[in-house]
Amino acid sequence: MKRTRVKICGITRLEDAQSAIDAGADALGFVFYSPSPRYIKPERAAEIIQQLPPFISTVGLFVNEAAEEVDRIRKLTQIDLLQFHGDETSVFCEQFNQAWIKALRVRDQGSLQQSLAEFESARAVLLDSYRPGVPGGTGETFNWDLIPSDYSRPIILAGGLTPDNISDAVRQLQPYGVDVSGGVEASKGIKDPIKIHAFIRGANP
Ligand SMILES: O=C(O)c1ccccc1N[C@@H]1O[C@H](COP(=O)(O)O)[C@@H](O)[C@H]1O
């Protein structure tokens, strides 16, 4: 079986970034969405990113942010990848001339198929749970049976993943990557190194 890439999202502290890297994370996510309990000021994210070792991808998460602000933050932080987690269109996502991934909140097969077709130019799609009025970080899983088995582009599975369910998820779906936030926290915005270790071990059993 291929190795499953792991992104640890919602990094707010250098020590949490370090724990994730020590445990073998491939990518770190920074939430630039101010209502989130995992929000990090772009200036602080830039300081953390500057101190990271090489070969770790950094991902900036945006929710319906103005294009000018996305552009300012991506330049300030030197982030590697943009993650759009709101209602952005593919035209919006493409304008930055930078690699991006699109989060799709899975409701039903029909709307998912439509979104997968719309975001073909994304480096990957991230599939997350749907809860009305909440853009992400719900801590809830969704019905994985809705994921089309014949989709050939990279899928990043998210939504309610934890050290307890990650092995089953990977075995069942064999996604390109997995993304976790709440499932490896000690409290909102603060990561738990033991949970991170267990999660990454479980992603590649
Ligand atoms: O983490 C947040 O607060 C958040 C806010 C707004 C949009 C997305 C957010 N997080 C992303 O949601 C998924 C699933 O998170 P969880 O593992 O269920 O807690 C993940 O991609 C987070 O990065």
ipTM at complex level: 0.97
Per-domain residue ranges for the chain? 5-203
Compute the distance between CA of residue 92 and CA of residue 183 in angstroms, rounded to an integer.
30
Give me the pLDDT at residue 136, please: 86
pLDDT at 109: 92
Separation CA 32–CA 60 (nearest Å): 7
Mutation choice for ligand 1 from 9, 40, 104, 184, CB with most ligand atoms inside 8 A = 9
Instruction: Show the ligand 1 pocket: residues with CB < 6 angstroms.
Output: 9-10, 29, 31, 33, 36, 38, 61, 63, 85, 126, 128, 135-139, 158-161, 179-183
- CB-CB contact of 5 with 27 (8 Å): yes
| Topology (CATH) of 5-203 | TIM Barrel (3.20.20)
Which positions are catalytic? 9, 128
User: What pTM did the predictor assign?
Assistant: 0.97
Cα(171) to ligand 1 centroid in Å equals 22
Q: What is the number of the ligand 1 atom nearest to the C-alpha of 37?
A: 3
- Which residue has the least CA distance to atom 11 on ligand 1? 137
Separation in Å, CA 96 to CA 36, 72, 81, 119 = 24, 11, 11, 15
pLDDT tens digit at each of 205 positions of the chain: 689 999 999 999 999 999 999 999 999 999 999 999 999 999 999 999 999 999 999 999 999 999 999 999 999 999 999 999 999 999 999 999 999 999 999 999 999 999 999 999 999 999 999 999 899 888 999 999 999 988 989 999 999 999 999 999 999 999 999 999 999 999 999 999 999 999 999 999 8
Return the residue whose CA atom lies nearest to atom 2 of ligand 1.
137
